[in-house]
Amino acid sequence: MCQIMKIQNTKLLDAFWPVIYNLDSAKKAVQQGWVAAAWCSGVTLIGVILNWFGITWIIQDSMALVDGLLFAAIGWGIAAKNSKTAAVAGLLLYILERVYSWSNQGPKNPIIAIMFTLMFINAVRGTFAYHRLALGKYPEEKSA
């Protein structure tokens, strides 16, 4: 029998690796994934639109439009449905894109890449925990 215990965590550590012990803490972890997906989608779509007008902000081609729309759909799946599939897809798509980008252009912004990867990992952790907790597989912490 597995029990979920709330472990004392610092605010800084909790931002990067939140402890998930009830539905609310699972939802907070899930939020990180849709925020990361929204940033990926927004920045990509802005880059594509700027390129259409001849402004080169970041290197984007029109195929990046598909990428931006994929991240928008993934973010919606994570935020609106607590979708495990969307969370895993977001993590895999982000990692594959970093590998592709870094293999072509060299590593750029590794700190941001680590932060976004952790945000997508937390979304995966949160969605899986949310569904387990919602089904009653683990008891929630009782309020005093």
Is 50 inside any structural domain? yes
> Rounded distance, CA 83 to CA 6, Å?
24
Is 4 inside any structural domain? no
- The total domain count for the chain is 1
> Rounded distance, CA 33 to CA 31, Å?
5
Which residues have C-beta within 8 Å of that of residue 96, sequence separation ≥ 6? none
CB atoms within 10 A of CB 129: 22
Is 11 inside any structural domain? no
CB atoms within 10 A of CB 50: 14
Is 107 inside any structural domain? yes
Is 83 inside any structural domain? yes
Is 10 inside any structural domain? no
> Rounded distance, CA 140 to CA 115, Å?
28
Domain range enclosing 92: 22-134
Q: State the pTM of this model.
A: 0.85
> Rounded distance, CA 98 to CA 94, Å?
6
Cβ-based burial of 30 (10 A; exposed 0-12, middle 13-18, buried ≥19): buried
Is 17 inside any structural domain? no
- pLDDT tens string, the chain, 144 residues long: the values are 344 555 555 777 778 999 999 999 999 999 999 999 999 999 999 988 888 888 887 766 778 899 999 999 999 999 999 999 999 999 999 999 999 889 988 888 899 999 999 999 999 999 999 999 988 876 555 444
